[in-house]
Chain A
Amino acid sequence: MIENGTFKPVIVGFLCNWCSYRAADLAGTSRMGYPSTLRDIRIMCTGRLDPTFVLRALQKGADGVLIMGCHPGQCHYQAGNYKAIRRFALLKRTLRQLGLEEERVQLHWASAAEGVQFAETVARMTEQIKALGPLDWSHNWPNEDPYAVEEATE
């Protein structure tokens, strides 16, 4: 997104209801400032994260995706975050093959008490993505079909 003439990343967040969403709440109640780049979506557990969601966010124009859940061993549902680790690892390899920079999609942990860590993670990721520039995924396939143009002008 371009705000006031400068590039401001849009990061879609998937936050686990029990830890990181509460860490974000805590960052709020404690008034810890961080960049307004994150747009977060609450899921019950990082184990719910269907890789399709990440792809959809990128396709729709997100510059990055931040997945956050409970620390390993502290999952509210015992092991959902371990499933997230597996899927994330494979997703990362797949996205690498699709030419996406590592920093664009990140998985981090924040317990409900870690408002500071939450705010720092968002700030750090924002800087990393600023350095990379806009992703603008749909511009990877500009129209090459001369007949489509023709039909449109008809």
Chain B
Amino acid sequence: MSEPRVGVYVCHCGHNIASAVDVEHVAEWAYKLPFVTIARDNKFMCASTGQEQIEQDVKEHDLTHVVVASCSPHMHEKTFRNACARCGMNPYLFEMANIREHASWVHPNDRDGATNKAKALVSAAVHRVIHHQPLEPMQVNIRPETLVVGGGIAGIQAALEIADAGHHVYMVEREPSIGGHMAMFDKTFPTLDCSACILTPKMFDVGSHPHITLLTYSEVEQVDGYVGNFSVRVRKKARRVDEDLCTGCGSCWEKCPIKVLDTVFEAGLGYRKAIYRPFPQAVPKYPVIDTENCTYYKTGKCRMCEKVCQTNAIRFDAEDEILNIEVGNIVLATGYKLFDCRRIPQYGYGRLENVFTSLEFERLTNAAGPTDGKVVLRDGETVPETVAIIHCVGSRDKHYNSHCSAICCMSSLKFAHLVKEKTGAKVYNFYIDMRPISKGYEEFYHRLLHEGTTFIRGKVSEITDAAHSPEEEGKLVVICEDTLVGKQRRVPVDMVLLAAGLEPRADSSEVGHLFGVSCGDTGFFIERHPKLDPVATMTEGVFIAGACQGAKDIPDSVAQGAAAAARILSTISKGQVILEPIRASIDESRCSGCRICNNMCPYNAIDFVEDLAVSRVNPALCKGCGTCVAACPSQIITGAHFTFDQLMAEIDGIMVDVTADDPFAVEAV
């Protein structure tokens, strides 16, 4: 083979790189590196002129390899690979040096340091690229089925969009009914339309859609495979009610003698039975037996539900079912967890009985809730005359969650309105900042101002029942510094509502791991790009929507659900997806069969072929992490595009003397 001819392009990125890196000097220096035929600097490599320069040089100077020193490969590696491909080069004969994010932007006042680092990174890329080999991406077919995990509003939206387009959706929901948090709400801000009225038709659509298989009371246990071809194992927990026979008539839970405090749907304010349907509009309509509380499972007696069921649908001996489903794409819409207000003891939740959480208030004010929509104190009858609503509980506080929960301002305004409307009470809103940022929100805030709600700017330090004066007797006293007037306030009220923040699910880390999605420092799932790719993840074929990606309100959750669906529909209509050819392969003629690599692979992509006594990689299952490559003590597993030779050359290149005029030559590995 003839000698490599490398083209090096060093980008100014306007001033982004050139302000800290001597770009011209780096290009001149790079020209002296081994096998470099051309080295240029360019204002904007990613612009069409920059890309055309590459194309022109490849043709005119017969370049075999290309190096672009510019931004992060996560930004423009694809752009430049495509430019190389357009002029007939294999796109994998390209390498990128990241001299913006990793040099100019982080060493703005260290021009020598940034320039030297840029030289080292360019040298590394040049040394590496000459070991690159042409690779062919793998094309795989996309199964048209989609798995949606989580049946809240985001998941419902995603499922309906895909199913309406004619493709099958499996929806897996952990609880006995879909609906999520939205099903618990009474009114939605800022329009104050009834949550159930807008949600239940969608829930019904999901339940009855010919293209949706609804798996409630189910959890995903295992995910194998890769984009286009995931195999998912779902545990469908035993409902102990035969769904084919049950009509949802309700006689079983009416007659069931066991009352259980409902901590899930009624937020601990109401009761359900041991056989129960979480709420009247539940989808599916079938009840479920709570075996922890059912008398039959404790004593072997009772069987009341069985006796009253006219269709003989009760199945005490039913067992969990394991379903294996094959899907092409996955949407994670697993939602959020409400901040546990007990974590702030000075707010008294759990100790002072008339301190309520936002979710409790949603149930109080809901016409279908435990008080039939009456806003009353914990005693169930007293109507409050003064109510305090505390914003930012557990949010924007480094002791709990540093993030803003995005919904609390608006739900606090909504609560203030509802309290006033239902009780005529005097309402105080304690806020840090008002953030009514979306469409129609600021207007709603103004409406509240005109309705006469009192807004006090200040973080509440304590809620106490220790009275300092006669008018505080028997009241809850909200203590806070009013930062607008600069004085300490003690506000006696009858009822306190805590606008609890939104947190990631307690098991988000495990769930993320199951699906190959990582969690950010706040614990929410990380999107592929915070601005330009907000619903995709680093794992191809796995998308995120709704509050599992970050605290957000209903309109944003719906938008993300639809966005995830759109992304998936585009891959389904294409029918195929291109996979990076970064895969491990074993040179079987040199494999000694030591089996060190066998348990390295998390995807079980390595099989041991007994009769040949060699190990073998299944390329369809391999995701290219390279863990087996590094493990192989014989050094006969190759990790494409991250080979031993490539990485060793990169190390040699990165260690050249950047202060020398003439960088020394490539050392053969």
Do A and B share a direct contact in the complex (Cβ within 8 angstroms)?
yes
Could you tell me which A residues sit within 8 Å of B by CB distance?
1, 3-4, 8, 10, 12, 18-19, 21-22, 24-25, 27-29, 31-45, 47-50, 52-53, 56-57, 60-62, 70, 73-74, 76-80, 83, 87, 111-114, 119
A44 in complex: contacting residue of B108, B642, B648, CB < 8 Å: B642
- In the complex with contacts A44-B625, A74-B518, A79-B602, A36-B652 CB distance below 8 A: no
Contacts of B109 in A (CB 8 A): 33
CB of A47 within 8 A of CB of B655, answer no
Could you tell me which B residues sit within 8 Å of A by CB distance?
72-74, 98, 100-103, 105-110, 112-114, 116-117, 120-121, 124, 509, 512-513, 516, 518-522, 526, 538-539, 582, 600, 602-603, 623-627, 629-631, 639, 642, 644, 647-648, 650-652, 654-655, 658-659
What is the count of residue pairs linking A and B with beta-carbon distances less than 8 angstroms?
165
CB of B627 within 8 A of CB of A45, answer yes
- Which chain A residue has the least Cβ–Cβ distance from B522? A113
- In the complex with contacts A3-B112, A78-B602, A28-B106 CB distance below 8 A: yes
Contacts of A57 in B (CB 8 A): 651, 654-655
CB of A83 within 8 A of CB of B648, answer no
Contacts of A114 in B (CB 8 A): 521
A79–B521 CA distance with the chains assembled, in angstroms:
19
A10–B121 CA distance with the chains assembled, in angstroms:
13
CB of B124 within 8 A of CB of A113, answer no
CB of B654 within 8 A of CB of A12, answer yes
- In the complex with contacts A44-B625, A119-B106, A111-B113 CB distance below 8 A: no
CB of B538 within 8 A of CB of A18, answer yes
CB of B538 within 8 A of CB of A31, answer no
CB of B520 within 8 A of CB of A111, answer yes
- In the complex with contacts A48-B626, A111-B521, A28-B516 CB distance below 8 A: no
- Which chain A residue has the least Cβ–Cβ distance from B537? A76
A77–B512 CA distance with the chains assembled, in angstroms:
11
Smallest Cβ distance from B97 to chain A, in angstroms? 10
Contacts of A44 in B (CB 8 A): 582, 624-626, 639, 642
CB of A76 within 8 A of CB of B518, answer yes
- Which chain B residue has the least Cβ–Cβ distance from A28? B101
B630 in complex: contacting residue of A50, A62, A79, CB < 8 Å: A50
Smallest Cβ distance from A46 to chain B, in angstroms? 9
CB of A56 within 8 A of CB of B626, answer no
Q: List 9 A-B contacts (CB under 8 A).
A: A24-B101, A28-B105, A33-B108, A36-B103, A36-B114, A44-B642, A78-B516, A111-B519, A112-B520
A48–B539 CA distance with the chains assembled, in angstroms:
18
- Which chain A residue has the least Cβ–Cβ distance from B107? A36
**6 further interface pairs, Cβ-Cβ under 8 Å (given A3-B113, A28-B101, A113-B521):** A1-B658, A18-B518, A33-B106, A48-B627, A60-B651, A77-B516
CB of B512 within 8 A of CB of A74, answer yes
A48–B629 CA distance with the chains assembled, in angstroms:
7
In this complex, which of B603, B629, B642, B655 has the most chain A Cβ atoms within 10 angstroms of its Cβ? B655
A37–B509 CA distance with the chains assembled, in angstroms:
33
Contacts of A35 in B (CB 8 A): 107, 110, 113
Contacts of B658 in A (CB 8 A): 1
- Which chain B residue has the least Cβ–Cβ distance from A24? B102
In this complex, which of A32, A39, A56 has the most chain B Cβ atoms within 10 angstroms of its Cβ? A39
CB of B602 within 8 A of CB of A31, answer no
CB of A10 within 8 A of CB of B113, answer no
CB of B101 within 8 A of CB of A19, answer no
CB of A48 within 8 A of CB of B642, answer yes
- Which chain A residue has the least Cβ–Cβ distance from B100? A28
CB of A43 within 8 A of CB of B642, answer yes
CB of B102 within 8 A of CB of A47, answer no
A112 in complex: contacting residue of B101, B512, B518, B650, CB < 8 Å: B518
CB of A83 within 8 A of CB of B518, answer no
A73 in complex: contacting residue of B112, B117, B509, B627, CB < 8 Å: B509
A43–B522 CA distance with the chains assembled, in angstroms:
26
- Which chain B residue has the least Cβ–Cβ distance from A4? B112
Closest 6 CB pairs of A and B: A28-B101, A36-B113, A48-B626, A47-B627, A77-B625, A60-B655
A41 in complex: contacting residue of B582, B627, B644, B654, CB < 8 Å: B654
Smallest Cβ distance from B265 to chain A, in angstroms? 31
A1–B526 CA distance with the chains assembled, in angstroms:
38
CB of A39 within 8 A of CB of B659, answer no
B625 in complex: contacting residue of A4, A10, A39, A45, CB < 8 Å: A45
CB of A8 within 8 A of CB of B113, answer yes
Contacts of A21 in B (CB 8 A): 72, 74
A149–B625 CA distance with the chains assembled, in angstroms:
47
CB of B516 within 8 A of CB of A76, answer yes
- In the complex with contacts A39-B117, A41-B651, A34-B106 CB distance below 8 A: yes
- Which chain B residue has the least Cβ–Cβ distance from A8? B113
- Which chain B residue has the least Cβ–Cβ distance from A2? B659
